[in-house]
Amino acid sequence: NSKTPNWTNEVIRQVNKALLGKNTFCIITTYVTFNLPKFQAVIDRLPESTLFIADEAHNFGTARTQANYPHKFNRRIGLSATPERHFDEQGTLSLLTFFNSVEKPTFKFDMQEAIDKNFLCRYYYYPKLVKLTEEELEEYKKISKKLLKYFSSSKGDFLDNPIISALLLKRKRIIHKAQNKLDVFRECISEIQTLRDKIKYTLVYVPEGKSSAFDEEDRILINEYSTVLTNEYGVRQHQFIGITENRNEILKRFSEGDIEVLTAMKCLDEGVDVKRTEMAIFCASTGNPRQFIQRRGRILRKHPDKKFAYIFDMIVVPDLDEKIFAESLKMERTILRSELKRVYEFASISENKWQALKTLEDVAAQYSIDIFSTEIS
Pairing of strands 151-152, 122-130: unpaired
Q: What is the pLDDT of residues 203-246, one digit of tens each?
A: 999 987 665 566 788 888 899 999 999 999 999 999 988 667 78
According to the model, what pLDDT value does residue 195 have?
82
pLDDT attached to residue 311? 95
Instruction: Please give the Cα distance from 248 to 319 (Å, whole number).
Output: 43
Q: How confident is the model at residue 258 (pLDDT cuts 50, 70, 90)?
A: very high
Residue 260 and residue 278 in contact, taking contact as beta carbons nearer than 8 Å: no
Distance CA 225, CA 293 (A): 23
114-118, 124-128, 345-349: which range is least confident on average? 345-349
Decide if 61 contacts 92 (C-beta within 8 A): yes
Q: Are 265 and 221 in contact (CB under 8 A)?
A: yes
In whole angstroms, give the CA distance from residue 50 to residue 153. 50
Q: Is 269 a residue whose pLDDT tops 70?
A: no
Band of pLDDT at residue 336, cut at 50, 70 and 90: confident
Separation of alpha carbons 190 and 51, rounded Å: 51
Q: Cβ distance 70 to 52 under 8 Å? A: yes
Residue 312: beta bridge partners? 126, 281
Which of 48, 46, 37, 62 has its CA nearest to residue 12? Answer: 46
| Whole-number pLDDT of residue 128 | 93
Mean pLDDT over each residue of the chain, to the nearest integer:
86
Q: What is the DSSP-derived secondary structure letter of residue 313?
A: E
What DSSP assignment string belongs to 121-181?
-EEEEEEEEEPPPHHHHHHHHHHHHHHHTTEETTTTEE-S-HHHHHHHHHHHHHHHT-TTH
Average pLDDT estimate for 139-166: 79
**Using an 8 Å Cβ cutoff, are 136 and 178 in contact?**
yes
Q: How far apart are CA 349 and CA 285, in angstroms?
A: 20
Considering only residues 340 and 6, tell me which one the structure prediction assigns the higher pLDDT: 6
Report pTM.
0.84
- Residues sharing a CB contact under 8 Å with residue 46, sequence separation 6 or more, in sequence order: 15, 70, 73
Taking alpha carbons only, the member of 217, 225, 161, 162 closest to residue 188 is 225
Rg of the Cα atoms in the chain: 23
Q: List, as own/partner pairs, every contact residues 370-377 make where C-beta atoms lie below 8 angstroms and the sequence separation is at least 24, other chains included.
A: 371/340, 371/343, 371/344, 373/344, 374/344, 374/348, 376/337, 376/340, 376/341, 376/344, 377/337
To the nearest whole percent, how much of the chain has pLDDT over 70? 89
- Say whether pLDDT at 13 is over 60: yes
Q: Is 333 within 8 Å of 156 (Cβ atoms)? A: no
